[in-house]
Structure 1
Amino acid sequence: MSSEPEPPATLADQAVFRPVRSGNAFEEAVERILQAIKLGVVGPGERLPAERDLAVRLGVSRMTLREAIRALQQSGYVESRRGRFGGTFVVNRAEDAPRGKARLRKLVVGMGSVGLEDTLTFREVLETGAAGAAATRPLPEPERALLRAVHEQVRTATPETYRHLDSRFHLAIAQITGSPSLASAVADNRMRINELLDAIPLLGHNIEHSHEQHERIVAAVLAGDGPAARAAMAEHLAGTAALLRAFLS
């Protein structure tokens, strides 16, 4: 057990570390933790929440949680470290995955009935609605501060960390709506979006443009301007959709 204080929960990890909903506690606990890893909510080298806290947040027994973590250890996603600053840490699985049109086409075909256009349309409805809802909800100062912090993280991201931190930003917007169902749906949709985005290269100009759009989204949300927040988010998502369609065509 680590004696190091646990960091406060972020808006993004609240969206993924949520109670399991079915009788398949073990499988869903693995899914939740793996989702947090793949979305970059807990990045390479970072520590998962303490066992006791994570079990409570997932709504599972500590024995079930240990079994889930053991399965992820065996799969090479996490590792346990002992000592004062020990705990369960995410393993850096940086892979030189093939990128480009062929990989993107393969992913889209693999999505079956949940095709590219369906995924993009669902994302637009979810995330523009989330931005509008977040802007019209009175936000307590801790949530406002966390949103600013997540925005600053993605603004100063490196190419290696950008996609993960961008995911945290979008999950944070969904989380501050106060709707766990909406936040869960955004997290699930983002998993599909990230698979597609990982198949195309990061473009410097696109990242700069995204930073400007993020700035407008945050400003509108914090100002309580729902229409402006929805419009800024819609413009941002349209840019991502255009890139994916361009690489697929």
Structure 2
Amino acid sequence: MSDAPLREVHRSVYRPVREGNALEDTVARLVQTVRLGVVAPGESLPSERELAALYAVSRDTVREAIRELAVAGYLERRRGRYGGTFVADPLPRPADPGTVPADEIEDVLGLRRVLESGAARAAAARTLDAASRAELWARHEAACAAGEADYRRADTLLHLTIAELAGIPSLVTLVAENRAKVNLWLDTFPLLPGNIEHSNGQHEQMVTAILAGRGDAAEAAVREHLAGSEALLRGFLS
């Protein structure tokens, strides 16, 4: 499987942080990397030197951020020849957010609807090369083959790949930030087997429409797909 679209996803989370709150922003960016599944449980993060360069911060800042997240149970340090910083497996389960204000839910979900349906339309309007087309279909197949433990990661990577294929780099960053918030909410309640099967069917409609260059159909398929998780989120969070 080509890693080209995933490299764009990496750039959406491995980018310089803002000045003034370097530690807090580095912690937040690392959490986003974990929540999006860009690095899966049990896999290693880039080295401290690489992260410092990517975030444009000192190695001390990176080291402190990793230390904080290790204490919180998100990361673990391993020494030796095959050592490094690894995403915890399993990850700590998010705390129940309780009742989330309805206007906050609608704000996050409304933005997701605009970003992701627009991304699908834009991707369908482009002439995708063979590698990109194969990557998109492979992401769909990976989601279909994923078990419950890996499904949300596979689902997220498919959606982020669609955003990357839209050809608007800053869009990937916006989608990644939005989905990190949505994933935090989704992780507080269990996956429903029937929902997974239904979701995979909708994924196929989305991907098929993009590959066929049918922008209207791609946008409509994404909106229908998102409506399902919107209903679940409103039910569990409201």
TM over 0.5: yes
Equivalent residues in 2 for 1:25-36, closer than 5 Å:
25-36=22-33
Shift of 1:95: 4.8
**Which moves more between the two structures, 238-247 or 228-237?**
238-247
Name the residue aligned to 1:77: 74
1:40 aligns with 2:37: yes
Name the residue aligned to 2:175: 186
**RMSD, aligned CA:** 2.7
Shift of 1:215: 1.2
Q: Which of 19, 22, 47 is matched with 2:16 structurally? A: 19
1:190-209, Cα deviation, whole Å (9 max, x unpaired): 12222332333322111111
Unaligned runs of 5+ in 1: 1-6
Equivalent residues in 2 for 1:226-245, closer than 5 Å:
226-245=215-234
- Paired with 1:69 and 1:230, the residues of 2 have a C-alpha distance of 39
Q: Which of 52, 66, 86 is matched with 1:89 structurally? A: 86
Shift of 1:97: 6.2
Q: Which of 216, 223, 234 is matched with 2:212 structurally? A: 223
Q: Specify the SS of the correspondent of 2:86.
A: strand
TM normalised by structure 1 equals 0.81
**Which moves more between the two structures, 41-50 or 136-145?**
136-145
Name the residue aligned to 1:122: 111
Equivalent residues in 2 for 1:155-174, closer than 5 Å:
155-174=144-163
TM normalised by structure 2 equals 0.84
Unaligned runs of 5+ in 2: none
- Paired with 1:42 and 1:53, the residues of 2 have a C-alpha distance of 15
**Which moves more between the two structures, 120-129 or 79-88?**
79-88
1:91-141, Cα deviation, whole Å (9 max, x unpaired): 12445668xxxx56x2413xxx85222222111111101111122233344
Name the residue aligned to 2:46: 49
Aligned residues: 235
1:193-248, Cα deviation, whole Å (9 max, x unpaired): 22332333322111111101111212222233222211111110111112333446
